[in-house]
Chain A
Amino acid sequence: MTALRITPLFAFGSRRSLHMIERNLLVYRHGWLMLLSGFFEPLFYLLSIGFGLGKLVGDVNGPGGQLISYTLFVAPALLAASSMNGAISESTFNFFFKLNYDKTFASILTTPMSPADIALGELGWALMRGALYTVGFIAVMFVLGLVRSPLIFLTLPGALLIGFAFAAVGMAATSFMRSWQDFDLIQLVILPMFLFSGTFFPLDAMPDAVRLLIQLTPLYHGVELLRELSLGVVGPDILVHVGYLAAMGLLGFTVVAGRLDKLLLK
């Protein structure tokens, strides 16, 4: 555990964390239907907002300025938003429950597994589920004729990066939570991001000041990243998006690495 404090980033946890994933796979073997909910969420949004609302809206400005259908515009954004939502619910509510009420973590800690192994395993599991949903969503986009570029396949690692960034920060935030009430704060941050990050309408509809503010938030970068990849319109700004999300994830992870021992090993 001392080693953990010295090398918080890449040497965080060990191969033992894979057993956490194995445990979750065992659990889901009993109730694999539970896995499906995460797949339907973005799909329902796509059908209602993309196709429903899209009829009223008409074409909008996509990345690079060309006109695209509203459905094409909103589909990758919905994928980004659902990657965020999935990561946040897993790393906040579920993580808090396991930390404080579920004795599963406590029992695992009596084995050679460390808090870092557990955290890393849980994160890996959340990302695996995220990957599954993303593949499903890309398949649906194929079927609905929403694929314009082979770069669409890069939305998979892109969505995982979003998941990693939000899950790491979510876990870090949760490590400071004292009660369920504190989670209202998280919703207070997540919901406006979901609505205003260029998810449902282009940012040029916004006043300059608001637009600048939005461009500082993480979901904006996630949405732009996936939108550029799915449409095959990739500019140098993609490095900013990737860099922002990676830095956010690593920062969150460093924080949570330093706090887990304190939280779990009292």
Chain B
Amino acid sequence: MSEQRVAGTAPLIQARGLTKRFGTFTAVDAVDFDVQPGEAFGFLGPNGAGKTSTMRMIGCTSPISDGTLLVLGMDPRTEGAKIRGRLGVVPQQDTLDNELTVRENLIIYGRYFGFSRPECARRADELLEFVQLTDRGKDLVEPLSGGMKRRLTIARSLINEPDLMLLDEPTTGLDPQARHLVWDRLYRLKQRGVTLVLTTHYMDEAEQLCDRLVVMDKAKIVAEGSPRQLIERYSTREVAEFRFPAGVQETLDGQFEGLGSRIEKLPDRVLAYADDGEAVVIAARERGLHPETVLVRRSTLEDVFLRLTGRSLIE
């Protein structure tokens, strides 16, 4: 496969029947997807769904077992180094070089891409500014907080000014404040036209960042669309959540039938899907149900996932 310039509407990533097997275990089972230039594309799914394996194949650090994959118009099997030169990768676990300082981490990483030392130094200072770590530049990596390490990892992935960023669970394990800071930086990158591909099992993250996403479960893609499309297609506008005192929920078999368009029973609560949640709550009271707490909220991707797989995302 010779290099072909990515132009116009040619997808940055094109996967057909993409498969990853480890021995007899199939981690990714014949998935098809396209990622267009400039979009933020998400892989949503629980742990073990095959998201990371897919990301690693796109990142050319894991050979594909079957199917075809084109990244930036090139074949990872023959042009891995060339592709990696134009990617920015934020792995699931921080892989910062603990023996070096914050600034050195950026500089040496730029060197791996073959940029000159002064150029690396210039970019490192710029990126430290971007992720608000300028005053920590001379510190070693180890004492940094989780949020700071994540930001440094993001800065590191930007050292080669990538056309495509791969972010594997970019905010897992961060506190809310740190997550918002990361989201804000990613949003700025998106506005600059950088294509983002991310995996997450956080609904809010997918809703905040992704233009389009695929839902993965058990190595397969089970749905695809924008967050709004997915909610419209697989859920109702609103959800009423009923929570009962311990032991009561099990005694209520059948009493929810007909409330809303669909009922979902979770271990700790009952969900009733309807376009008008308030009406469902009133109807439930009329049936003599006395939940401990009631919550009416808008449908989220969590509900979509529950509908598609029968399981919650984070177990």
Taken together as a complex, chains A and B put the C-alpha atoms of A103 and B96 apart, in Å, by 7
Taken together as a complex, chains A and B put the C-alpha atoms of A2 and B22 apart, in Å, by 20
For residue B81, CB closer than 8 A to chain A, the reply is yes
A149 to chain B, nearest CB (A): 41
Report the stretch among B104-112, B121-129, B274-282 that lies at the interface.
B104-112
Asked if B95 contacts A103 (CB within 8 A), the reply is yes
Report the stretch among A15-23, A59-67, A182-190 that lies at the interface.
A15-23
In this complex, the member of A22, A106, A112, A114 whose beta carbon has the largest number of chain B beta carbons within 10 angstroms is A112
Asked if A22 contacts B59 (CB within 8 A), the reply is no
A260 to chain B, nearest CB (A): 13
- Measured CB to CB, the nearest residue on chain A to B77 is A2
For residue B229, CB closer than 8 A to chain A, the reply is no
For residue A109, CB closer than 8 A to chain B, the reply is yes
For residue B87, CB closer than 8 A to chain A, the reply is yes
Asked if B100 contacts A27 (CB within 8 A), the reply is yes
With a cutoff of 8 Å between Cβ atoms, the chain A residues found around residue B84 in the complex are 110-112
Asked if B104 contacts A26 (CB within 8 A), the reply is yes
For residue A108, CB closer than 8 A to chain B, the reply is yes
For residue B89, CB closer than 8 A to chain A, the reply is yes
Partner of B99, one of A2, A27, A113, A265: A27
Asked if B87 contacts A114 (CB within 8 A), the reply is no
Q: Beyond A2-B77, A265-B63, A266-B62, is A107–B95 a contact (Cβ under 8 Å)?
A: yes
Asked if A113 contacts B112 (CB within 8 A), the reply is yes
With a cutoff of 8 Å between Cβ atoms, the chain B residues found around residue A104 in the complex are 95, 97-99
Kindly identify, within residues 100 to 155 of chain A, every residue whose CB is under 8 Å from any CB belonging to chain B. Answer: 103-104, 106-114
With a cutoff of 8 Å between Cβ atoms, the chain A residues found around residue B156 in the complex are 107
With a cutoff of 8 Å between Cβ atoms, the chain A residues found around residue B108 in the complex are 19, 22-23, 26
With a cutoff of 8 Å between Cβ atoms, the chain A residues found around residue B95 in the complex are 103-104, 106-107
Q: Interface majority SS on A: helix, strand, loop or mixed?
A: helix
Q: Beyond A107-B95, A108-B112, is A265–B100 a contact (Cβ under 8 Å)?
A: no
Taken together as a complex, chains A and B put the C-alpha atoms of A30 and B172 apart, in Å, by 32
Taken together as a complex, chains A and B put the C-alpha atoms of A23 and B96 apart, in Å, by 13
With a cutoff of 8 Å between Cβ atoms, the chain A residues found around residue B113 in the complex are 111-112
Kindly identify, within residues 22 to 39 of chain A, every residue whose CB is under 8 Å from any CB belonging to chain B. Answer: 22-23, 26-27, 30
With a cutoff of 8 Å between Cβ atoms, the chain B residues found around residue A107 in the complex are 91, 95-97, 109, 156
Partner of A111, one of B94, B104, B112: B112
With a cutoff of 8 Å between Cβ atoms, the chain B residues found around residue A266 in the complex are 22, 62
For residue B208, CB closer than 8 A to chain A, the reply is no
With a cutoff of 8 Å between Cβ atoms, the chain B residues found around residue A23 in the complex are 97, 100, 108, 111
Taken together as a complex, chains A and B put the C-alpha atoms of A109 and B85 apart, in Å, by 11
Taken together as a complex, chains A and B put the C-alpha atoms of A113 and B81 apart, in Å, by 7
Q: Beyond A23-B97, A26-B100, A265-B62, is A110–B91 a contact (Cβ under 8 Å)?
A: yes
User: What 3 pairs between A and B have smallest CB-CB spacing?
Assistant: A107-B95, A103-B95, A111-B112
> Chain B residues in contact with chain A, CB under 8 A?
22, 59, 61-63, 77-78, 80-82, 84-85, 87, 89, 91, 93-100, 104, 108-109, 111-114, 156, 160
- 17 contacts across the A-B interface (CB closer than 8 A): A1-B80, A2-B77, A16-B112, A19-B108, A19-B111, A26-B100, A27-B99, A104-B95, A104-B97, A106-B95, A107-B97, A110-B87, A112-B82, A112-B113, A114-B81, A265-B63, A266-B62
